[in-house]
Amino acid sequence: MSRMKILVSDKLAEEGLTILREGDAFEVDCRYDLKPEQLRETIGSYDALIVRSGTQVTEEVIAAATRLKVIGRAGVGLDNVDLKAATKKGIIAMNTPGGNTTSTAEHAFSLIMALARNIPQAHSSMKAGKWERGKFQGVELYGKTLGVIGLGRIGSTVAKFAQGFGMSIKAYDPFLSAEMAAKRGIVMATLEDLFRNSDFITVHVPKTDETKGMIGEKEINMMKKTVRLVNCARGGIIEEAALVQALASKRIAGAALDVYDEEPPASDQPLLKFDACVLTPHLGASTAEAQVNVAIEIAYTVRDALLGKGIRNAANFPSLDEESYKALEPYIDLGDKLGKFAGQLVSGGIKEIRTVYGGILPKYNMMPIAMSIVHGVLKPILVDNINAINSMDIARERGIAVTEIIENEQEFGNCIKLQIVTDKETLEVWGVLSANKKPRIVKVNNVYVEAVPSGHILFIRNKDVPGIVGAVGTALGNAGINIAYITFGREKEGATAVSVVNVDGEMPAAVIEGLRAVAGIQFVKMLKV
């Protein structure tokens, strides 16, 4: 069996490389400082790509990545990865949100202290042989209000540091409840309240379309003239032009940046001329401990994803620990086969894919199952252009609603019920796992069956009349087609019946046409699951 190939295109600590090289599962190539065209030329032979902030994983790179399954970013954020292109191609994009939490939080708080006490300016003055005590009078942190935008791992850690210095915390984070914040001694605020009433403001949110430029001229004009701004998150969250104007007009007391719109900044960057602006060259994660931590974390994360041992810290796939992944894996497989089975039977334009869960399933994150179901339903239509990672986006692009429902009282234990709503019909198919955790179809609309959703399947809907089974058996026998499994079911005597026949190979079109001509047979279709 050939080994999977991993390309590491930015420098990674040796501790991470050692993890990837353990055993014989992977071949690891370290090729630092590849030019964009070189990366495009070489990426096609790799199963995984590990980067830091240097490599730009563009749409063009992803288009050339014919084998790529995983992109791992050793650090916080994925702004150097075209996440939309990765998702569309079905590539899992992962990062290490915890590996440099302490390092970045410490750096942010160091900048807060440097601003408060004018430490960089005083240091430069001393180095120049001066003694200017009066010039560098600062302010205390004790009793001041720190506004924290984004209470994730880093923002929460900065808030904790600040509380140790006697600061009050106002925070803006739409995803954290006021009750949870109160337990941490933090007051939740609107952005306007935070802007108007904070003495220091620190930013800890990812750079997205919503957060880009979230602090501009309008927002700065709401702030106290004594406010000091800190950004150790991503360049562009604070508009640099607005910040330059505010510093030039002394509208604010100071600012400290570790990140910039353009990195490295141009030599004529206007922010460089202000004494009240403290600048560092993207040092948030630049500690020996952080470098090792993110290398180890991304190595384990990428390794486990490639080996099917769980998916963590993915931006475009639900995170699952190994235990949850093992528990859900057979249901993910069931969902995919259920979707393929039903997707080939349904007629009309699909309007909604509705999944109903029961039993133990609601205790887990069920999104991976939903993604596999949607993939299964749409796969027969889109063939090579869809997989589980991009299935939800493709459904959304096509205007197909995806709905998940929890139903505690179900006819079958741990059942997945799939309903596909089209402009012509609603098809309902029920799936469970057998005793040995193999997928089984147990109901199609109102007909109970015991079908194996695997391989080549002949699906027949007919009137419940004598002679159908014999006609099917004779037709297949005459064509030399072997039956692997067969199951029958009916709504009630004399009503609609269903036959599901697993066969050992493709069915000639003439055989299918012959079956359609049999009296009593209403529908015949060959499925491939």
d(CA 3, CA 321): 24
Instruction: Tell me the three state secondary structure of residue 155.
Output: helix
Whether 234 is a known active-site residue: answer: yes
- Contact between residue 116 and residue 105 where contact means Cβ atoms under 8 Å apart: no
Whether 375 is a known active-site residue: answer: no
Neighbours of 496 (CB within 10 A): 18
Neighbours of 263 (CB within 10 A): 11
Whether 153 is a known active-site residue: answer: no
Instruction: Tell me the three state secondary structure of residue 279.
Output: strand
- Long-range contacts formed by 264-272: CB under 8 A, 24+ apart: 270/240, 270/244, 271/240, 271/243, 271/244, 271/247
d(CA 37, CA 392): 31
CA-nearest of 472, 456, 467 to 512 is: 472
DSSP string, 410-452: -SSTT-EEEEEEESS-EEEEEEEE-TTS-EEEEEETTEEEEE-
CA-nearest of 371, 374, 386 to 342 is: 374
Catalytic residue among 282, 354, 456, 461: 282
- Contact between residue 133 and residue 127 where contact means Cβ atoms under 8 Å apart: no
Catalytic residue among 234, 312, 375, 490: 234
CA-nearest of 337, 248, 232, 216 to 280 is: 232
Neighbours of 415 (CB within 10 A): 20
Residue 470: in which H helix or E strand, if any? helix 468-478
Q: Retrieve residue 130's tokens.
A: 């001066």
The CA–CA distances, whole Å, from 251 to 222, 248, 255, 373 equal 10, 8, 11, 55
**Dihedral angle, C-alpha 222, 228, 233, 236, nearest 10 °:** 50
Exposure string (b/e) for 162-199, b if CB count within 10 Å is 16 or more? Answer: beebebbbbbbbeebeeeebeeeebebbeeeebbbbbb
C-alpha angle 305-79-199 in degrees, rounded to nearest 5: 120
Helices marked H in 307-390: 322-345, 367-382
CA-nearest of 394, 395, 428 to 410 is: 428
Catalytic residue among 263, 289, 322, 513: 263
Positions marked catalytic: 234, 263, 282
